[in-house]
Amino acid sequence: MSTSATSSSETSAAPRRRGSATIASIAAETGVSVPTVSKVLNGRPDVAPDTRARVEAALERHQYRRRTPRAQTESSLVELVFHQLDSAWSIQIIQGVEAAAAAENVEVVLSELGGEHRPPQHWLDNVVARRPLGVIFVLSGVDPGQRQQLDARSIPYVVVDTAGEPLPGVPTVGSNNWAGGLAATRHLLRLGHRRIAMISGPADVLCSKARIDGFRTAHEEAGLEIDPTLVRHGNFYVDGGFRHGIELLSRDDRPTAVFAGSDMQALGVLRAARELRLRVPEDVSVVGYDDLPLAEWIGPSLTTIRQPLTDMAGTATRMLLGLARGEQPVTPQLDLATELVVRESTSPPR
């Protein structure tokens, strides 16, 4: 018995060739049983959080991986995860994912995180137990520990419209939000507007910051100062546009134009203008962002920035399915082009 114990200790202490660790050696190093390591590898929820973290760290340290890429026949599921699921914007993403998945006979499982940008651990444990082909995160993502958990099981993931700075090596698909903010503001400046308000999205979301940066750049190009009280952070939804719209358009020195930062917020601004008996575009011009199908049907039809949402979603899905086959994307972080669409909601100021 003493000889066996000495041998085990020497085995765990000896340096190992990178990627050559076994379940037994991971168990010995972390002081847990082989079944516990197996539970962690298989995403079982019945493991204490601190034990899971210790085992995950050892798996990452030794670069423990499945030896071959997952065969697509092992699963026919893709997990699609939204931070929040309650707008026409989400429908465009879903349609893009489902079309690309259906082309490869893959089904889509839909989840929503209730407005959070990181999934709870129990949700990730359930996903790992289902062993999907991969996960698509929309305006959400995983923390480093959760990333290790997915990596250790060769479950790939792609982020669409990342909420924050993407982690190194994480495939992402988005659009050029800075260019979109620049084009929207340039359009209003060229019409002659000099007092323009901006209602972006949440301050901690990357695309919100990028659109504001584009807004600022357009003013710098024109040699104009921005009134900081006209720059607001909304929530990308109708209520945010309405709330800020009422405040901005009730001012004695109200703006002559509002860049709403999303089509849904633009709807809120249009409602605020109606309640204040202001005409669009005669009294105030309004620009949205996304070019949702409703943008051309509301009255007046909405000038907006076309964001290729279905293309973004389809590209992310194809990238994910390629990763599941063991293929590496040529461009792991991809931003698709945006486009200004001019309709009836903008005109020169009176």
pLDDT of 195-223, one tens digit each?
999 999 999 888 999 999 999 999 999 99
Instruction: Pick the more confident residue, 267 or 40.
Output: 267
Helix (H) or strand (E) holding 160: strand 157-160
Please count the other Cβ atoms lying within 10 Å of the Cβ belonging to residue 70. Answer: 20
pLDDT of the residue at 251: 97
Amino acid 63: pLDDT: 75
Q: For residue 14, is pLDDT > 70?
A: no
Paired strand residues for 290:
306
Of residues 284 and 41, the one with the higher pLDDT is: 284
Pull the structure tokens for residue 253. 């020195």
If one compares 199 and 12, the residue with the highest pLDDT of the two is: 199
pLDDT at residue number 67:
43
The confidence band for 19, taking pLDDT boundaries of 50, 70 and 90, is low
What is the pTM (predicted TM-score) of this model?
0.78
Average pLDDT over residues 99-122: 91
Residue 271 has a CB neighbour count (10 Å cut-off) of 16
Alpha-carbon span 349 to 249, nearest angstrom: 14
* Separation of alpha carbons 320 and 157, rounded Å: 6
CA–CA distances in Å: residue 116 to residues 16, 83, 333: 40, 5, 23
Residue 90 has which token pair? Answer: 């989400």
User: Residue range 232-239: average pLDDT?
Assistant: 95
Range with top average pLDDT, 10-14, 87-91, 186-190: 186-190
Share of the chain above pLDDT 70, in %: 89
By mean pLDDT, which of 27-31, 66-70, 296-300 is the weakest? 66-70
Q: What is residue 3's predicted lDDT score, i.e. its pLDDT?
A: 36
**pLDDT band for position 43 (cuts 50, 70, 90):** low
- The whole-number pLDDT of residue 65 equals 59
pLDDT of residue 71 exceeding 80? no
- Determine the pLDDT at residue 273: 98
Give the pLDDT confidence of 295-342 residue by residue, as tens digits.
Answer: 999 999 999 999 999 999 999 999 999 999 999 888 889 999 999 999
Dump pLDDT digits (tens) for 135-146: 999 988 888 888
- For the residues 86-95, what does the mean pLDDT come to? 89
- Rounded Cα distance between 299 and 264, Å, is 14
Residue-level pLDDT at 108:
95
Cβ proximity of 315 and 157 under 8 Å: no
Q: Name the one residue in this structure whose structure tokens are 């049907």.
A: 297
Nearest to 85, CA basis, from 140, 26, 143 = 140
